[in-house]
Amino acid sequence: MENETQMAEKQSFLQQHLMSIPELEVGQIVTGTVVQTNDESVLVDIGYKSEGKIPVDEFMELPKLGDKVAVTIVKLDDGRGQVVVSKKRAEAKERTEVLRKAAEDREPVLGKFIKVIKGGYEVDLGADYKGFCPLSKADIVRVEDPQTLIGKTDYFVIDKFHAGSKLKSVVSRREYLERKIKENKDAFFQTVQIGDVVQGEVKSFTSFGAFIDLGGFDGLLHINDMSWGHVTRPKDFVKKGQVIQLRLINIDPETQKINLSLKHMTPDPWTTFEERYQVGDVVKRPVTKITSFGVFIELEPGIEGLAHISELSWTKRVTNPKDIVSIGDVVEAKILGYDLDKKRVSLGLKQLQENPWDTISDRYPVGKVIKGPVVKVTNSGAFINLEDGIDGFLHIDDISWTKKIKSMDQFCKEGDLVDVVVSRVEPENRRIRLSVKQLEGNPWSNLKKDYPKYSTIQGTVSSVTDFGVFVKVPGDIEGLISKYNLVGPDEEYSDKVLESYKEKVGEPITAMVIDINPQAQKLSLSIKEMIKKSQESEMAKYMADDKEEEDTYNPFADMLKSKNDEE
């Protein structure tokens, strides 16, 4: 009985004690101190000689003794004289007020993308509060893959707040980002000066450079500001996503344009170029780029020289520089010249080799006979290989003195061995002219020697055209009798005369040479002139005979003879 009495008294004491604490009431948030922990609960001293028990599952991490914890009073008595408290309810109540005020003031609150749902995302705002973020308000740029944002924690602006557990609060990350970008940009323009070093992330590329993200707004790194040397591809100098430091070289608050430079992070090596390099110097450096017109060789960081395709070999016909060198090859080159204003250096590889054209006249003097293979046939002639890298050219007009070659295919094809003679050597132009026809004597020169002007020549009618008759004469040469020269000087020309010669093709004919030009390979013949000369000759003979008779007539002798007869 005494125990029951004692227990009743103790319970009565506790009730009177709790009732004597007017500060504590259900729903009130108080701060307590952790006094005891175990696997099931955490005991918190909330003051006023009262303690509350909190289940451990309300804690993300088990607190330590002495830690302060905010709790909500759930019950003043759990039937055993203890106050029932809840940490989670305290957090929810506090979070509700924080979120409500943030919504009113449009102040950003921390949240986390936790799930992709129709039209957007479910966002955890803390204390079991969930918000809906439309896809269009999740970022300042279009979100191509919604899953990429899941798990990301950032700030959101609450467009619409709902205190219940249903997903009715609407939030916008985009608004927060736009505010942040504006703040960053305003601060940037107010604090930086030309010459300052800034940090940014390579965002995207264009043909003229790269855009650098400086905190939600872009600056331009122009291709000309990437290196002191030659730049053809921006991606050779910076990579997308790379965080780099750049120097601010221009800023315009009105247009909001920002120009950045990578090359200005180091001194301009061109200003001291002549201290290290001179024309004629030989350098041994790596090939960095190969183009259709030549090879770029890096002399040092920021300085590249160009070995033009024409400076790669004395003899080889280089059509693709890749046939000579590869990127990464370390080659020897001679400095041929430079222009500091244009930041250009001209290099040569062939200058470090002996020039075979310097002694070409010694090896191939005019008149030398050579047998060589045809390496290329063109419309105007053929290239004959004389030695490695050196070809001579045989023009189509140098094949025959008399025959008209219409196509080189009639004479030779690639791979044929051809006998030729060197006709002209031009070392300064790196040219050698070859000839086939000069292997034999020039029939035109012989013809002119044997048949001077106004001599008669016999030949064969070879063809008839609208303008005259072609005659083949000794030396396999063709001459032309103009149609007006087919008749005598006393005859009148008619087309019937020309027509009559069509039946005489292949028949012999005699004509007079009136002009012969070996250089132009032109022979003009005439029947009219031959008849005229013949007539003149006959007339001259007749006049000579008549004159002789005249010379033998003596009137005094006749008179004397007549007188004697009379006597």
**Whole-structure pTM value:** 0.46
**DSSP secondary structure letter of residue 493:** P
Structure tokens at 222: 């122009």
Residue 19 three-state SS = helix
In whole angstroms, give the CA distance from residue 523 to residue 473. 10
Structure confidence at residue 557 (pLDDT): 46
Distance of CA 416 to the CA centre of its chain: 40
Structure tokens at 205: 């590329």
Beta bridge partners of 420: 370
Structure tokens at 561: 């003879």
Give average pLDDT by consecutive 10-residue segment, the chain, 567 residues: 52 51 66 84 78 78 83 70 74 80 90 93 85 93 92 93 74 93 90 93 92 92 88 87 94 91 92 94 94 93 92 87 93 95 93 89 91 93 90 91 85 93 91 89 82 91 92 89 88 86 90 89 90 83 66 49 47
**What is the 3-state composition of the chain as percent helix, strand, coil, each rounded to the nearest 5?**
30, 40, 30
> Could you give all domains of the chain from N- to C-terminal order, each with its CATH number?
2-91 (2.40.50.140), 106-179 (2.40.50.140), 192-265 (2.40.50.140), 269-352 (2.40.50.140), 359-439 (2.40.50.140), 443-534 (2.40.50.140)
In whole angstroms, give the CA distance from residue 261 to residue 222. 7
Contacts of 216 (CB under 8 A, 6+ apart): 140, 177, 180, 181, 184, 185
Query: Phi then psi for 369, rounded to 5 degrees?
Result: -95, 135
Length in residues, the chain: 567
In whole angstroms, give the CA distance from residue 84 to residue 73. 6
Nearest by Cα to 87 from 47, 48, 131, 57: 57
159 near 152, Cβ under 8 Å? no
In whole angstroms, give the CA distance from residue 78 to residue 55. 14
In whole angstroms, give the CA distance from residue 134 to residue 159. 11
Match 């008619």 to its residue by tokens: 494
Structure tokens at 339: 């222009």
Q: Enumerate long-range contacts of 56-63, CB under 8 Å, 24 or more apart.
A: 58/86, 58/87, 58/88, 59/87, 62/37, 63/34, 63/37
The alpha carbon torsion through 545, 550, 552, 558 (nearest 10 deg) reads 150
Structure tokens at 38: 């175990």
